[in-house]
Amino acid sequence: MKQSPLLNGNAPASLKSKPAEISGVENLIRTMLKKHKTPFMLIRKSVLEKQFARFKKAFPEVMPYYAIKANPNPKIVRTFAELGASFDVASAAEMKAVLKHGVSPSRIIFANTIKSKEDLAAARRRGVRLMTFDNEAELYKIAESFPKAHVIIRIKVANRGSVVQLSLKFGAEPDQAFYLLRKAKSLGLAPKGVSFHVGSQSTNVENYLQALELTSNIFKEAKENGMPLKIVDIGGGFPIQHFDNEIGINFERMAAVIRKQMKLLFPKQVEFIAEPGRFFAGPAGILVTQVIGRAFRDNQNFYYLNDGVYQDFSGMVFDHCKYEFKTLRRGPKYKSTLAGPTCDSFDILSNNEELPELYPGDIVYTKNIGAYSSASAVPHFNGFEPASIILV
């Protein structure tokens, strides 16, 4: 890798940003830089709509419940509400954030298997009747706080190949599912179905196929014992690309295989739902940051940005996510380090980026960062706020 010939100082005229070969994304960024201070995150409404349409085309029989934890920005929630999506919430606060957009309570699933009594009481007041559970103690709590609630059991399934493992904390053993559904009925609740989650950023379609087979067996056992079920929740975890040239991700192909298994194992009257979050919001986001300082450390360029892991790159920590860093500047590339603005040495984004020579004021941007990023950011750490979100 080339080492930078420039150790400090201002950019020479020969390395000033060149307008040639500017993409549509870069044109958008340049336009928005005239109106907004960095850092800011652009959420493209057209991409939100595109991702929703892709999902509906790939899964025409599945009702998507947008998992708002991925990005609860009100403009995003309103966009999906207008498109006709339903919603997955994990708390009373998320419930309130959805309902204020005029969404019917019947279009919400309270998909946190462990809920406080206060949040259950809020769900009852607001009429959000459908919810998940995965253990017996939770059933007693639901029965006390929300009699006659509609419950779906979440089962533990394989998460092989998923970036984020979600069966470590949630999910009943499949062989206990019917017992727990029968217990729910005995407590005056209404057992409605089975849910599972194969883990986030899952490219292993076998996880879905095995989970559907386990779910089918539970449906058969319930029917044989006079307790027919009607809802299958296939969760989320649908993968997206984070890098332009990333290979191995083909959502449509995965969906076709999953649909074939659904049709094979379940009768037509079964209702299918899903909980996409990242798939809907991730591709829509472009984070625009600026270089606020530079140094030469460990024999390579070291650039400090005005956004870091405590802000909108929080997904690198909490979501095990890797991002592709791009610049508006053109020129020869050198091995470089990118770091955030805080005083914590943990706030380093990458030690191994190939970047042109950058200077204070230069732009570094990241695509496909609309999910989790801002949602899991830490407000006010060292006084640095997360990026402003701009729907375009």
> Of the residues 282, 300, 319, which one is the last residue of a structural domain?
282
Domain that holds residue 353: 13-43+283-391
CA pair distance 275, 64, nearest whole angstrom: 6
Same domain, 234 and 310: no
Angle of helix 117-126 relative to helix 136-145, nearest 10 degrees, comes to: 50
Same domain, 36 and 52: no
Same domain, 342 and 383: yes
User: What's the token pair of residue 96?
Assistant: 């309130």
Kindly write down the DSSP assignment for every residue of 360-387, as one continuous string.
Answer: TT-EEEEES--SSTTTT--TTGGGPPPP
Looking up residue 52, the CATH number of its domain turns out to be 3.20.20.10
Same domain, 135 and 275: yes
In 300-339, which positions are buried (b, 16+ CB within 10 angstroms) versus exposed (e)? bbbbbbbbbbbbbbbbbeebebebbbbbbbebeebbbbbb
> Of the residues 244, 261, 282, which one is the last residue of a structural domain?
282
User: What's the token pair of residue 45?
Assistant: 């409404």
Tokens 């739902």 locate to 273
pTM, to two decimals: 0.90
Same domain, 211 and 360: no
Catalytic option among 34, 298, 343, 379: 343
Position 70 scores a pLDDT of 96
8-state DSSP, 155: B
Burial class of residue 382 (count of CB atoms within 10 Å of its CB; 0-12, 13-18, 19+): middle
1 is a domain residue: no
> Of the residues 249, 267, 282, which one is the last residue of a structural domain?
282
Same domain, 63 and 172: yes
Same domain, 134 and 236: yes
6 is a domain residue: no
CA pair distance 300, 351, nearest whole angstrom: 9
Return all residues near 56 (Cβ < 8 A) that are at least 6 apart: 64
For residue 321, the SS3 value is coil
Would residue 343 show up in a list of annotated catalytic residues for this protein?
A: yes
Position 318 scores a pLDDT of 86
Same domain, 272 and 159: yes
Looking up residue 27, the CATH number of its domain turns out to be 2.40.37.10
pLDDT per residue over 224-268, tens digit each? 999 999 999 999 989 999 888 887 679 999 999 999 999 999 999
Banded pLDDT at 10 (limits 50, 70, 90): very low
pLDDT per residue over 56-107, tens digit each? 999 999 999 999 999 999 999 999 999 999 999 999 999 999 999 999 999 9
Higher pLDDT, 42 or 250: 42
Same domain, 224 and 127: yes
266 is a domain residue: yes
Total domains in the fold of the chain:
2
